[in-house]
Structure 1
Amino acid sequence: MALDIATTGNRAAVDRVLTASLRTSEGTAHDWILDPGSDPLSVARGKGHGVTVERARAEGVPAARALAEVADLVAAHLASGELLVVWFAPHVLSLLHAELLRHGVRPLTERLPGGVAPVCDPLVLDRHADRYRPGRRSLEAVTRWYGIPHAHPGDAASDAEATLALAQAVGACYPAVARLSRPVLHAEQTLWNAESSRHRQAAPDWPMTPVEPLPWEEPPPG
């Protein structure tokens, strides 16, 4: 199962989920648009999903209800031992955690005594398996490299579909990665993420940081 969200921005404790999508290898699809409530929100510049706060309020279901449905499905999937595929998991799972707390929904960390696992992050896999390849490592760029169709970059549904296909493609290209058991793959990604982060300014915990929600603040200009 692959999870993706479209948000107002990238600040895990502050920003809000506007849409969420789940895709499975069997073809099951779940999509939500969330009404984020009446806080004076705005979408940060550079977010490519095209979902405005106004549209989310007009078309969305109450955020608490949608988030509870997402958490129920994700927790049940992980509790069964199946991989949850998430592109840039620290962003998605940390922001989701804060949103669950903000809306009074039991977070994944409380539903899964063994931790939020096993997770498969194709960004971490690609950085480890092909560490010297030049160029950007955005989802759009990496799917293009592997020849994965990605019709609408930034859209949660399209991103979830592309992420699931990308995880399968990386496994096919690098059999040593594909042969790892799910628990070992999860553990190895923690190490690979730390290793690749040494060369970048940001080194987020992987697969998530359980942050507490903070009140809304307008993003800095620029």
Structure 2
Amino acid sequence: MTGWITGPLAAFDLETTGTDIETDRIVTAAVVRLEPDGAVSAERTWLLDPGVVIPEQAAAIHGIPTEHARAHGVPAPRAIEEITRAVAEVLRAGTPLVVMNARYDLSLLDRECRRYGLESLSERLGAVPSPVVDPLVIDKHVDQYRKGKRALHALCAYYGVSLDEAHDARADAVAAARVVRRMGEKHRHVGTMSLTDLHDLQVRAAAAQSASLQAYLRRTTNPTAVVEPAWPVVPRSR
């Protein structure tokens, strides 16, 4: 088989203070490079002092309480600059960037740049970040009717990928890259696509998935529900 799955992949992951891209903050981050055999050949990780209290619920998930982040974390503005620069370097090189639920991680990174007056990833690249490979979007596209959860741990179990330290940014990034490579091997029509075609497919698939969820929510729980269709970065509100 030839295609993007036979080459190197980079992966990016965040652990945060919550799930709101407009208000929450980055606590840890990782950018890793995986070779075609799945081995990690390069990595960078960050622990940040996010400048706010880390909610107990978030700390219970990723294991970083406020006191630890304040004592050992890098000041957020410096770390956000380093993270954004590292991600930009990956994409400028044309290496596929694997991001599980990219709409969240890349949008939060965008808002953090805005918060500290830094150039965003899109501004540095002069375009929407690409090529991005999102295991969540691809899995929902290729296996739309499979029952069960689609979180990273569930995808790892389904595709036979080890995830020993869930909610550790480095471990999650590595697992996401290995999972998406397995997806591409199983679903050859996706694994052999050009990166441009794959990126465009995910833009369309993410919009369709959002529309489907929005329709479901309006039928069942919230008649005015709105689910953001944009991918991989949610536009900033004016």
Give the residue type in structure 2 aligned to 1:45: Q
Residue 188 to residue 16, structure 1, CA distance change in 2 (3 Å): same
Residue number among 30, 38, 47 corresponding to 1:33 in the alignment: 47
Residue number among 43, 56, 59 corresponding to 2:55 in the alignment: 43
Q: Is the 8 A contact 1:101 1:212 kept in 2?
A: no
Q: Which residue number corresponds to residue 134 of structure 2?
A: 121
Percent identity between the two aligned chains:
39
CA apart distance, 1:192: 0.9
The total of aligned residue pairs comes to 211
- Larger CA deviation: 197-206 vs 137-146: 197-206
CA apart distance, 1:104: 2.4
Q: Which residue number corresponds to residue 107 of structure 2?
A: 94
Q: Which residue number corresponds to residue 206 of structure 1?
A: 231
Secondary structure of 2:213's aligned partner: coil
State how far apart, in whole Å, the 1-side matches of 2:68 and 2:136 are: 30
State how far apart, in whole Å, the 1-side matches of 2:56 and 2:102 are: 20
Once the two structures are superposed, residues 129-163 of structure 1 have per-residue CA deviations (whole angstroms, 9 ceiling, x without a partner) of: 11111001111111111110001111111110100
Q: Which residue number corresponds to residue 130 of structure 1?
A: 143
2:18 pairs with 1:6:
no
Q: TM-score, normalised by structure 2?
A: 0.84
- Larger CA deviation: 161-170 vs 98-107: 98-107
The CA RMSD measured in Å over matched residues stands at 1.7
Once the two structures are superposed, residues 19-63 of structure 1 have per-residue CA deviations (whole angstroms, 9 ceiling, x without a partner) of: 0011111421111000112x4x23263662121122111111111
Q: Which has the higher helix share?
A: 2
Q: Which runs of 5+ in 2 are unaligned?
A: 1-9, 215-226
Give the residue type in structure 2 aligned to 1:42: I
Q: Which residue number corresponds to residue 17 of structure 1?
A: 26
Determine which structure has greater relative contact order: mean sequence separation of CA pairs < 8 Å that are 6+ residues apart, divided by chain length: 1
Give the residue type in structure 2 aligned to 1:147: G
Q: Is the 8 A contact 1:18 1:53 kept in 2?
A: no
Secondary structure of 1:48's aligned partner: helix
Runs of 4+ in structure 1 deviating by more than 4 angstroms, as ranges, are none
2:168 pairs with 1:155:
yes
State how far apart, in whole Å, the 2-side matches of 1:77 and 1:210 are: 22
Secondary structure of 1:51's aligned partner: coil
